[in-house]
Structure 1
């Protein structure tokens, strides 16, 4: 089981290195790692389990954050509709690639956080408001998904990890809360 002790923190050189493509067929080790990454996210969002295992809540995790230089991410985004237990997005993406994106940008009103960053980093993180991503699932099947707003932001954050980019690299250094006119702020 993955815990916070397995997650490397900013300053670790591994977080700045581009990750390697995963080759096919997918090894059992990679499949197990992907399943454990998704399990961590689900556990971190369960108040009881998060307290028991001292987990910080997360919606995304990249293998790079576990010091594994592989292009794999897991995302588990709960639905914002309280009437359903179905998550908005819950998947493991192998070799994810953004193949198209909107001109329109968006950012989160509260900025972004990261399981590898143990401090508040104030500022807006502008990202594409809509993206199309191709990736492979754990069975090696190619997938294509269109995402918008919060889901798109989460997936871009995690794909950045596979490229050695941290979220705060996108924050305007001179004026952290400066945004171009065409950027929407999502609450």
Structure 2
């Protein structure tokens, strides 16, 4: 089981690398890692397990955050009554809206152990393609928090941190042509 001890911090160079594609069909080792990413995210949202193991709550996780530079992410979140629970190899944005969105509460990251203030502009609607643990192709049309979370995790695969998007001159500048998303 992954714990906070497995995470790299924001100053680790692996978080600035472009992660490599996972050869498909995925090896058992890669499947096991992807399943562990999902297990962490799910466990971190269970207060009893999170407290027992000292897990910080998260809704998404990318392999580079646990020191593996491979293109895999896990997302587990509920928005309204919809559950988004996906573990994907080689996820990519295949399309996005012109309209932007931002979380009014700002974003956080399991690899960043400090508060970072400011709005992070993201695409309001996206389509993501990837391959699941069973080797099946997945295509998702997303908006709201789910779209923001997937973009955050895919950024990790490209060596981008969420705070790279924040306007350094005016962190709370509302992104042009954007909608506010509440968490």
Q: Match for residue 45 of structure 1? A: 45
Cross-structure match for 1:9: 9
Equivalent positions of 1:18-57 (< 5 A) are 18-57=18-57
Q: Could you list the runs of 4 or more consecutive aligned residues of structure 1 that deviate by over 3 angstroms after TM superposition? A: none
Matched residue SS, 1:146: strand
For 1:55 and 1:140, the matched residues in 2 are separated by 29
Pairing 1:158–2:153 present: yes
Instruction: Write out aligned runs for 1:120-139 (5 A).
Output: 120-139=115-134
1:119 to 87, 108, 114: 114
Segments of structure 2 that go 5 or more residues without pairing to the other structure are none
CA contact (8 A) 2:121 2:175 kept: no
Aligned partner of residue 118 in structure 2, secondary structure? coil
Rounded to whole Å, the distance in 1 between the matches of 2:24 and 2:177 is 41
Moved more, 12-21 or 137-146: 137-146
Distance 2:16 2:164 in 1: 11
What corresponds to 1:68 in structure 2?
A: 68
Q: 2:178 is matched with which residue: 168, 172, 183? A: 183
Tell me, in whole angstroms, the C-alpha distance in 1 between the residues paired with 2:123 and 2:156: 16
Q: Which runs of 5+ in 1 are unaligned?
A: 82-86
| Post-superposition offset of 1:79 | 4.2
Q: Would you say how many aligned residue pairs link Structure 1 and Structure 2?
A: 182
1:109 aligned onto 2:108: no
Q: How far 1:180 sits from its partner (Å)?
A: 3.3
TM-score, scaled relative to structure 1: 0.95
Task: Give the TM-score, by structure 2 length.
Answer: 0.97
Give the Å deviation of 1:78.
2.5
Shift of 1:148: 0.5
